[in-house]
Structure 1
Amino acid sequence: MGTDSIATTEAILESISDGVFTVDNDWRITSFNRAAETITGVPREEAVGRLCSEVFRSSMCEGACALRKTLETGKPTIAHGCYIVNSDGERIPASVSTAVLKDKNGNVIGGAETFRDLSELETLRKQISGRYTLGDLVSHSRAMQPVYEMTTSVAKSDITALIQGETGTGKELLARAIHGMSPRAAKPFVAINCAALPDTLLESELFGYKKGAFTGAIQDRQGRFAQAKDGTVFLDEIGEISPALQVRLLRVLQEHTYEPLGSNETRRSEARIIAATHRDLAALVESGDFREDLFYRINVIRIDLPPLRDRKEDLPLLVTHFVERFNRIHNKGITGLSNGANSLLMTHDWPGNVRELENVIERAFVLCNGPQIEIRHLPQELQGPARAPANPAADIGLARRSAEAQSIMKALENNHFNRLAAARELGIHKTTLFRKIKALGLRLP
């Protein structure tokens, strides 16, 4: 290829909006265009010569590398979806395409990859659908928007975070989302439920132990902090640990050091800590059941997850989410729930929150052999007192209540939960709207 042709090719690569880079057979970057700099936030002079996995930290780098597959098979990859982590630690949704690079003699000298930033497209998709996702958490409720906004900011830092919420609200899912959006995303995420183990076992689980530390300790064992390395340790139900163990945990937070059971060797922990609880830790501090200094160490940033009863407008979205998931798991083609079944879900208070809803839908999948989940497939506690096997009039009534509840919630959302404006949109008096909200058992922000 002549000098003029090479210059023309470089000019084209510099002018396009897609990121383009090439690697040699040792996976070191040999070229990096201007769009690649813009999308990743990494200057060209810093990228060239480095391993591509160090620059991109992509969701595919851990084992599903599209470029590696292309170099192994000789087949190009077209528009494969993934995300990359930019220099600010932000996850950027992207699509990548790959190809093999050969010299004039046909010898493989490396690979080329183009990638496109899909951030604006993803934002537009979410705005159109009214659906927001955070890891495995899905919502379009106004009550969840502060959670999303705070989580995005918290994920960028290494600050200790406390997630507070009732059992079943998705505290671990939120912790995993924070980890997945953080610069530590490629590092281990290690979770432990502090309420599931007695103190003696919990201490050895967290910090590990040396051989002979207690009866049955026949060999050294790593604890969760050692397993996490410089990733994330998630301490679920931290409000359940004893004062003695709280002291040891405080040391990890303050000094980033700990000692395995039966050892005098001090080890350093670089792991980030995310804690969660369904209890009121401030009240436990007042009663003397939780150390005040530990409370202030973990309560630097607190994220409150609202219960499902306070965001019932998410029920149809969550039901759709679980139906899609269980169709894949159980290899079924269930289309959704009947109007009567939907109505029962809307009138239930969900003390077990999203986890209870998930269990209800999975149970229904086991029992349902038709195209749609009916009332009879739901647990008896949702159905209330035993009812006749077939009652068309009651089903019509339930369907009417479900449709009415959905119409009211839609009008309220359209008007930012202004009751008077929602009543005008529905063509009813505001007192009638208040009465219907109360009768339908709707919980509003």
Structure 2
Amino acid sequence: MVGKVERDLFTVKRSKPKKSVKRKKESIDEDDFELKKQKFSDEVVVYFEPLSYQNLPPGLVTIGCIHNITKYDLGVSLPFMVSGKVPITRISRSYTALLKKVTESSNADEGEDEIFSLQSLFKKGQYVVTKVESVEKSDRGHKVTLSLMPQEVNFGIAASKLRKGLLLQCIVASIEDNGYVMETGISNVKVAFLNRAKAVGAGIVGVGSVVWCIVTKVKTSEEETSLHLKLSAIPNEVKEACVDVVDTDDFSLLLPGTAISTTVTTVDKRCMKLLLAESDGIVGPHHLQSSLEQLSDYDVGQKVKARVMYITPLSRVVHLTLQQLTFTERSNEDLLHGLNIGDRTQGQVIEVQKRGVFFKIGSYRAFCWRKHLSDKDSSLEQDDLNFPPGSEHELRITAYHYMDELYVVSLQKSILEEQVSFCVVLFLS
């Protein structure tokens, strides 16, 4: 147990007053999200900008949600309408070794080792922790390469910090008679074992399956040089596992997906600040508990359960979501709330921003980029966009961003009038 933090849970830490310094007024776009702090007397006003293809740092470890599965890669939706791909060779060492063994084998028979395709191992709507390996820009947009390799996703965890109740993303390395040997990627962990009885409902298919696990026992080896872990992947246990505020001072244990029971300390029109032991916890306006909630629906002192999405590498700010992540398989109808890609529907304007317009479709949000608002030139200023709040417009759903629970739509006449089978295009940038 990490030492308690001697601090009133309802106190907002303020900076010391400073002499006023004349400076040019900065123009800050409300759509932006990378954390900036601008101090006025004794108050700290927090501005932050969302992840984007322009500021996505290689090395970032973040939660994501699978939106597409092909023979050779996984399409993963990341926070704030960013997406990337995990190549088949970046799942795990054990899966890559099995691939190599099968491809190099001259025997046409299956043999003892059975290898499953990505379509069998993964499902749309499945949450995974990924590491950003590279971001490349081209004429066709941005190419983001991601990795699920446990050695990269869990690289910051020291074996000495492992304890009962810790949430870990593990990958099946081998299948034994009474359970599964799991790949954690953590140095000095000799064995991590998941008993079959503790894997009921986890959806394990075979080697390469990604499994959310809770550490149930940590045992030191007889030589005292390595650790043996016992794990549980029962969905309800994974869902209910939660870290208290006093245990949030060690960033290496705040893995994406980790739930934290905490308190709201600051609410403004840009974001909400949550109490953590040694750092800032930030929730943006589009990652609240339900899709159409607003920041103004929350009060200072209110208790909430948040989950870590990612921690910015330099500023060390913890970005959180209040969405209720699901750790069991979901149907496509549940994922898209009864609608389908290509459907035409009515949407009501919620908010007009520089980059586009947010709409309400039923009980959920939708977003249309400026260039997809019409077939005409999209260079109009924000004030010139004729989309008054509350106005109704016909939309066509062109994509769904799983991580943000957000429909992506088009108002272009050419798209609305398309009569042939609709070709899904990810209008995400």
- Which has the bigger relative contact order, CA under 8 A and spacing at least 6? 2
Query: Which is richer in strand?
Result: 2
Query: Which is richer in helix?
Result: 1
